[in-house]
Structure 1
Amino acid sequence: MLLQIKDTGALVKIVEIQELLDPNSDVVQAKDQEGQEEQEPETFKKENLIFPSGELLPRCWLDAEYRHDNA
């Protein structure tokens, strides 16, 4: 799955989808898609990632307590 870094617009390929879906993890391993060669995985904060369409990641991927919010 490809996601985009909010600040730079660069695309990253998520290494392990389960890590992305886990709301108890605030980081994810991904490979920068810049250049021709396969890049080494780096750690990215989920809060700094969006879908390439510009949509935010679902709250249930970011916040383990999303069901308990009274707002």
Structure 2
Amino acid sequence: MLLQLKDSGELVKITEIQELLDPNNDTVHAKDQEGQEEQQTDSFKKENLIFPSGEDLPRCWLDANYRNG
């Protein structure tokens, strides 16, 4: 799955979808999608990621207590 960094607009490829879906994780592992060569895996804060369409990530992916508020 490709997501976009809010600040730079660069695309990153999520390597572990389960990390993204788990609201108890505030970071995910992903690879920058720049250049022709495969990039190293790096950690990214979920709060800094959006969908390439510009939409925010679902609250249930970010907040384990989303039903309480």
TM-score (structure 2 length as normaliser):
0.99
Partner of 2:40: 40
Distance 1:29 1:60 in 2: 18
Distance 2:30 2:9 in 1: 15
Letter in 2 for 1:34: E
TM-score (structure 1 length as normaliser):
0.96
Structure (1 or 2) with the larger CA radius of gyration: 1
* Counterpart mapping for 1:1-71 below 5 A: 1-69=1-69
Letter in 2 for 1:33: Q
- Once the two structures are TM-superposed, the CA of residue 35 in structure 1 deviates from its matched residue by 0.7
Query: Segments of 4+ in structure 1 off by > 6 A?
Result: none
Q: Which runs of 5+ in 1 are unaligned?
A: none
Report the aligned-residue RMSD.
Answer: 0.3
Letter in 2 for 1:8: S
Aligned length: 69
Distance 1:37 1:22 in 2: 29
Letter in 2 for 1:59: R
Q: Secondary structure at the match of 1:23?
A: coil
